[in-house]
Amino acid sequence: MKKISLLLLSTLLTLSASAQFQLPELPYSYDALEPYIDTKTMDIHYNRHHGAFVNNLNRILSDYPEWQGKDAVYLLKNLDLLPAEIRTPIRNNAGGFYNHSLFWEILAPAGTAPISARMTDVLVRNFGSFEAFQAEFERAFMSVFGSGWVWLMKDQEGKLYIATTPNQDNFRMDAERRNHTPILANDVWEHAYYLRYQNLRAEYVSDFWNVVNWKRVEELYFSF
Ligand code: MN
């Protein structure tokens, strides 16, 4: 009995030492964003795509103990200091991990987190009108060639701007913008929408507005 407990304990310790990254809990069920984001897409996107970033990070870092125990933002801000042979895989996988963790947070079932007057004012101040903001965000989304992300960013003076990144890049890895805060994002990878929308990318980004968690976006805007 004692032997079994010790074995279990050492197994648990080994697991917790190597599995430093974990999938964050999804704050709603896979079908909660229907019909705008379908159940199967949510399941595959969360478990297999986000899950792969988690597994890859833990596997890559298992050979680099000095880089274990750091969070994704730390790794992304310090890519230049990483050993050359893991710089690109860490960039892609820590980027993917960070981007998707934010993405799940800024989504919510339709009608549960509508925009407040206070947040609408912020967008009107920055973009002229809520519709102008949406149009610029959608234009940016459509302008990404291949895979990437579109961001609503807050700079250090509190000003908002829209920008895109390729692949799983984000601005934490950008020396000039790493202290800007992403407050809203949309995933432009085909895996985010193809099962339901196929090539109709414009329809996906237009439906996206139905499932934005404006409560969370507002919290992010006012928390930095
Ligand atoms: Mn994705």
Q: What is the CATH number of the domain that holds 175?
A: 3.55.40.20
Query: For residue 8, how far is its CA from the centre of ligand 1 (angstroms)?
Result: 35
Query: For residue 9, how far is its CA from the centre of ligand 1 (angstroms)?
Result: 35
Query: For residue 186, how far is its CA from the centre of ligand 1 (angstroms)?
Result: 9
| pLDDT single digits (tens) 142-198 | 999 999 999 999 999 999 999 999 999 999 999 999 999 999 999 999 999 999 999
9, part of any domain: no
Query: For residue 191, how far is its CA from the centre of ligand 1 (angstroms)?
Result: 6
Classify burial at 172, counting beta carbons within 10 Å of its beta carbon; exposed 0-12, middle 13-18, buried 19 or more.
buried
Q: What is the pLDDT of residue 156?
A: 95
The count of domains in the chain is: 1
| pLDDT single digits (tens) 85-124 | 999 999 999 999 999 999 999 999 999 999 999 999 999 9
Question: H or E stretch including 165?
Answer: strand 160-166
Query: For residue 117, how far is its CA from the centre of ligand 1 (angstroms)?
Result: 30
187, part of any domain: yes
136, part of any domain: yes
Query: For residue 167, how far is its CA from the centre of ligand 1 (angstroms)?
Result: 10
Query: For residue 14, how far is its CA from the centre of ligand 1 (angstroms)?
Result: 30
Query: What are the percentages of helix, strand and coil residues in the chain, rounded to 5?
Result: 60, 10, 30
In this structure, what DSSP letter does residue 182 have?
Answer: E
Q: Which two tokens stand for residue 113?
A: 């987190």
Model confidence, pTM: 0.91
77, part of any domain: no
34, part of any domain: no
Given pLDDT bands bounded at 50, 70 and 90, which one contains residue 50?
Answer: very high
Domain of residue 199: give its range. 117-223
Protein residues with C-beta less than 5 angstroms from the ion ligand 1: 187, 189, 192
Q: What is the pLDDT of residue 57?
A: 98
174, part of any domain: yes
Query: For residue 151, how far is its CA from the centre of ligand 1 (angstroms)?
Result: 14
Percent of the chain surpassing pLDDT 70: 91
21, part of any domain: no
Backbone angles phi, psi at 43, to 5 degrees: -60, -50
